[in-house]
Each structure stands twice: as C-alpha cells, then as structure tokens.
Structure 1
C-alpha cells in the first residue's frame, strides 16, 4: 500500500464515529447476562473477553461460569448502538446512561438473570 493511501485510511479511521452503545455478555446455557455501556463497544467487549480468558474479571460469578462452561457458552453482543448526531454539543454519555438504565429495567441488577 502506498503512503498516500495509508495516510488517507488512517485519517478516515480517526474521523470515524466510534462504536458507542450498550453491550452484553450472555451466558447461552443459563441465560444470565451482564449489561454494560461504553464509548467504544468494540474495545470494551475485547477487554471483557481478555479479562475472562486471563481469569481476572471483576464479577466472580461470571468468571466462575466462564471457567466451568468455557468460552463457547458465552455470546458477546452489542444490544444498542448509538447513532451520530448533527448537533456538535450532543451529550452521548447522558444518552448512554439513559439507554443503560432502560436495558437494566428489563433485566434488573440483583435478579437471577443478571450478573450484577
């Protein structure tokens, strides 16, 4: 790849809207789920997967299930992606918090279906 093409691709990447939104880690056997939000869902899901593989995840029940059932028993998914807005001052963080609250109302923390 020539330098000009590489430079153009890097610039386009830097200007692209990041994949923000609500994501989940779902236990396919039990149905339990961890629902979180991130300004970079791709990076967050990769971080969560890495922590589970290394045995370092902060949620003990999730880590235990991962160890017992294996990676194939879990799905990593984006539940709701945020869309870019035309307003330059739009508060994406506040919107993500509201979306997270809405998703957690469906599966409340502390319930048998939640890892929180």
Structure 2
C-alpha cells in the first residue's frame, strides 16, 4: 500500500461532499442554547471555539457565559444537515432554515442566546 501524496490528500479533501445545516451550542450549566445555520458543518465546532476563546463575540451573552463557565460547560450538536449539491441559493436557503428552527426552538431570552429575527 502506498502513502498518498500531499497533493492527492488535498484533492481528496476537495472532493468530499459539503453539508449545510443547523447547529446548536448548549450551555450545560444554565441550559441556554445558541442556534445557527451554517453553509458547511465540517469543523464548525472548532470555528466557534476559536472565536469564543479569542473574544470574537464581545458584548454578547454567549461570550459572557463562555468566559464565566469555560469551554467545558458547552456542547455542540448538528441538529440537521443536508448536502449542498442541489441548493441553488444557499444564502436564501439558510435564511429560511434559520427562521424555521427559531420558530421551533425559540432560542431567545431565558431559553437562549439568539435574538429574534426581524421580519
């Protein structure tokens, strides 16, 4: 068996299917949730952890609780995902998906870190 070259590994990575979806970050201490729709679910938890650990969400309740309780107090879940292959307008699809999941989960106020969507 031969070891793949760096070039082959990069090509294989690029050929992997991309999934868009709905993610949830949960504070296991106070049970508040943060919901978002993302164009690519791969490595998304790492993306949020880097941003929260670098204070990217300054002045947000999520950032304040991240700093108060620490990274270990939060979990990450992909609530729903689908291949991007058949999506014609990903931006509009994500916008509608976010509205649907916000209506379903109501991640506002005491329940979550999101702000209600403006219509």
Q: Give the alignment's TM-score, normalised by structure 1.
A: 0.77
Paired residue secondary structure (1:76): strand
**CA deviation digits over 1:5-59, x for unaligned, max 9?**
x433322211222232111111112111110111122344322111222233245
Q: Is the 8 A contact 2:20 2:84 kept in 1?
A: no
Match of 1:22 in 2: 22
Does 1:83 pair with 2:60? no
| 1:21-100 aligned within 5 A | 21-58=21-58, 60-85=60-85, 87=86, 90-100=88-98
Which structure is higher in helix share?
1
Distance 1:110 1:77 in 2: 18
Paired residue secondary structure (1:72): helix
Q: 1:70 to 1:91 in 2, by over 3 A?
A: same
Distance 1:2 1:42 in 2: 22
Give the paired residue count: 112
Unmatched 5+ stretches in structure 1: none
Q: Give the alignment's TM-score, normalised by structure 2.
A: 0.76
Q: Is the 8 A contact 1:22 1:36 kept in 2?
A: yes
